Amino acid sequence: MGILATRLHVSRYRSFDEFTLELASGVNILVGRNAVGKTNLVEGLQLLTAGASFRKPAPIELVREGCASGAATLVLEGDGRLLDMGLEVTEGKRHFLKNGKRTNAAGVRGVLPSVLFCPDHLDMVKRGARVRRDALDSFGVQLNAQYGKLLSAYERTVEQRNNLLKECVDPALLEVWDESLAGTGASLLMHRRALLARIRERVVETYRVIAPHECPDVAYQSTIGDLPESREEIVEQFLAVLAERRAEELRRGMTLVGPHRDEILFTIDGRSARDFGSQGQQRSFVLAWKLAEVQVTNDILGRYPLLLLDDVMSELDGARRDAIMGFISGGIQTVITTTNLGYFGSDVLEHAKVVHIGDEE
C-alpha cells in the first residue's frame, strides 16, 4: 500500500495544547463544530508532508497563544520504513526535522506527498492566473526536487532582473540577465508542460465522470507564444520576445514575459470556464483537478498521496460529494473534516475512522 501517515502529534500548536491523532489507512473523518481546530490538524499534516501550508502563516502564528514555542510530529510507515517528520517553532523561527535531524522544507517533501482540497480552492477557476500557476507549481515541487530548484532559481532571477530594470542599467548588463532568465525559464516551462500534460489527461477523464455530456480541456498559454519542442528553441524564442519588449519593460520597471506571467486555461466545450462556466461547472473543474493530482501522483511515484479534504463537503452538492467518495473508496488514505456526519452514507461511516474533535481539547 506504500507509505502511510499513522500518527500526528501536536504540542502548543495553533489551538491545541497537546493532541494526538491516530490515523487509519483508509478514510479518516474529523468531525466537530466550527473553530475547534480541525483545519489546524489538516494544516499540520500538510506542513509535514508538503513542507508548506495553504494558509502561508508566519512562524509565530503556528504557536498556541501565550506559549513561547510549538511543535508537531508526523509518523510515516510503509515499504519497510519508519520515518518521523517534525516541525519546531522557537524564537519566531520555523524548523523542519527528519528523523530528529534538522532539514529544510524540501527535506520533508516527496516521502508522502499530500493533496489538499479546501473551500478556497473552489474559486480556482475564476480567480487570477497566479492561483492556477501556484496550484501547478506547488504540486510539481512535491513530485520532483528539480522542479522546486528551478522554480526558486527562476523567481530569484525575476526579482533581480526587475531591480535592474528599475535602475535603467546598461543594456549589456541586462542582456546577461536575459540569458539567465531565458535559460531557467525554459527549463521551468519544460517541467510545467510535462506535468500539465499528465494532469490534463486525468482532468478530462475525471470531469467526464462528473459531467459525461461536457467536453473539458486544459491548456498552457505562454507569454512568449506557442512553445517549441526543445529547450534550446524555447530559450531562443524567449530571448527574442524579451528583445521585443525591452523598451516597455524598462518603462514599467518589471519583467513582463515568462513563466511568472503565464496562464493555464480551463475550457468547457471550447469556451472559457472562467468567463462562461456556471458555478457548478467551475466547481466540477476544480474537483477534477484535485482528483487528477491524486492520480498523477500515483502515475509518477507509484503510490497515492495523502488526500486532505478540509470542509469541502458542505460546499459541494450531493453528486459531487458522491464523486469524491466513489473516488477515494479505492484505497486512498484520506482525512476529511466536517461539521456534519450526515454528508456521509452509512456504507462510508461503517468503514471510516471517525474522530470527534473538540471535547478532548
pLDDT tens per residue across span 164-216: 998 866 777 888 999 999 999 999 999 999 999 999 999 999 999 988 999 99
- Report the distance separating Cα 297 and Cα 62, nearest Å: 28
Q: Which residues contact 115 (CB under 8 A, 6 or more apart)?
A: 139, 290, 293, 294, 297, 305, 306, 307, 308
Per-residue pLDDT reduced to its tens digit, 18-58: 999 999 999 999 999 999 999 999 999 999 999 999 999 99
C-alpha cell, 316: 459541494
pLDDT of residue 1: 60
SS3 sequence, 19-77? EEEECCCCEEEEECCCCCCHHHHHHHHHHHHHCCCCCCCCHHHHECCCCCEEEEEEEEE
Strands lying side by side in the sheet with 353-356: 114-117, 306-310, 334-338, 27-31, 353-356
Q: Regarding beta strands 353-356 and 334-338, do their DSSP bridges make them parallel or antiparallel, or are they unpaired? A: unpaired
**Is residue 233 predicted with pLDDT exceeding 80?**
yes
pLDDT of residue 359: 62
The identity of residue 307, as a single letter, is: L
